[in-house]
Copies of this chain bind each other. A is one copy, B any other.
Amino acid sequence: MPPLDEDALLRRAARLAAGDIPAGWVGPGDDAALVPRGDGWLVVSTDLSVEGTHFRREWASPRVLGGRAVRVAISDLAAMGADPLGVLVSAALPADLPEGFAEELIAGIEEAAGTLGAPLLGGDLAGTAMGIVLDVTVLGEAPRERVRLRSGGRSGDVLAVTGSLGLARAGLHLLEAGRAPAEAAAVRRFLVPEPRLAEGRWLAGRPEVRAMMDLSDGLAVDAPRLAAASGCGVVLELDHVPRNPEADIVAREAGEDPVLFAAAGGEDYELLVAVEPGAFEALAGAFVREFGRPLSPVGRLLEDPARREAVRNGVPVAFPAPGFTHFRGEGG
Which residues of A are at the interface with B, using a C-beta cutoff of 8 A? 1-4, 6, 9-10, 12-13, 16-17, 19-22, 25, 27-29, 32-33, 35, 37-38, 42, 44-48, 50, 52-54, 85-86, 88-93, 95-96, 102-103, 106-107, 109-110, 113-114, 119-131, 133, 135, 137, 139, 141, 326, 328
Contact = CB atoms under 8 A, between A and B. Distances in A.
B127 A130 contact: no
A35 B139 contact: yes
A125 B10 contact: yes
Contact of A48 (B50, B126, B328): B126
A46 B10 contact: no
A1 B96 contact: yes
A80 B110 CA distance: 24
Contacts of A122: 27-29, 32-33, 44-46
Given A13-B106, A85-B35, A139-B35, A28 B120 contact: yes
Given A33-B122, A38-B37, A52 B128 contact: yes
B17 A95 contact: no
A128 B131 CA distance: 9
A298 B232 CA distance: 63
B110 A20 contact: yes
A119 B21 contact: yes
B123 A1 contact: no
Copies per complex?
2
A54 B91 CA distance: 14
A37 B16 CA distance: 30
Nearest to A13: B106
Contacts of A131: 128-130
B33 A106 contact: no
B121 A33 contact: yes
A1 B103 contact: no
Nearest 3 interchain pairs by C-beta: A130-B130, A20-B119, A33-B121
Nearest to A16: B110
B21 A135 contact: no
A110 to B, nearest CB: 4
Contacts of A37: 37-38, 42, 141
A88 B46 contact: yes
29 contacts: A2-B95, A4-B93, A4-B125, A6-B127, A10-B125, A17-B110, A17-B121, A20-B110, A20-B120, A21-B119, A27-B120, A27-B121, A27-B122, A28-B122, A33-B86, A35-B121, A37-B141, A42-B85, A44-B86, A44-B88, A44-B139, A46-B88, A46-B135, A48-B91, A48-B126, A54-B126, A126-B326, A127-B328, A128-B130
Quick one: which of A20, A45, A91, A96 has the most chain B CB within 10 A? Answer: A20
B13 A120 contact: yes
A271 B235 CA distance: 57
Contacts of A137: 44, 46, 88, 137
